[in-house]
Amino acid sequence: MTMDRLDAVFGALADPTRRAILARLASGDLAVGDLAAPFPVSQPAISRHLKVLEGAGLISRSRRATARLSHLEAEPLRQATSWLARYQAYWDERYDQLDEVLAGLEPKPTDG
């Protein structure tokens, strides 16, 4: 249950082709062929990238006629962001006030 999905997620994101695939899927579901078109790699290579993304939970797939549509599933990205959030304080002191704002309480004036 507590399987380290972060391994798979970060591993998936480490490849620029896969990040580009996710970026394209953000605009809508796509078939393998459409997805492969802009990339200088073969269709089987894209199929394997999709398999990696699916393994990381970053996409889900469905059938429409002979095509297989890939659908972006951003939840793992949220988990990754959640892990990274631990370090926000190390690069951005605005994090504190941001955190407060997000906490749901009423925002206060920036300066007293």
Partner DNA sequence: GTTCTCTATAACAAGCGTGTTCTATAACGT
Partner DNA sequence: ACGTTATAGAACACGCTTGTTATAGAGAAC
Angle made by CA atoms 34, 73, 79, in degrees to the nearest 5: 140
d(CA 90, CA 49) in angstroms, rounded, equals 33
Give min distance, CB of 71 to DNA, in A: 12
Residue 71 binds a copy of itself (CB under 8 A): no
In the window 81-100, what residues touch a copy of itself (CB under 8 A)? Answer: 81, 83-88, 90-92, 94, 98
d(CA 16, CA 21) in angstroms, rounded, equals 9
Interacting residue with a copy of itself among 28, 65, 106, 112 (CB under 8 A) = 106
In the window 11-50, what residues touch a copy of itself (CB under 8 A)? Answer: 11, 13-16, 19, 22-23, 26
Residue 103 binds a copy of itself (CB under 8 A): no
Residue with tokens 């926000």: 88
Q: Could you tell me where the beta strands, DSSP code E, fall in 1-112?
A: 30-31, 59-64, 67-72
Residue 53 binds a copy of itself (CB under 8 A): no
CA-wise closest residue to 31 among 79, 3, 66: 66
What residues line the site for a copy of itself (CB under 8 A)?
4, 6-7, 10-11, 13-16, 19, 22-23, 26, 72, 74-75, 77-78, 80-81, 83-88, 90-92, 94, 98, 101-102, 106-110
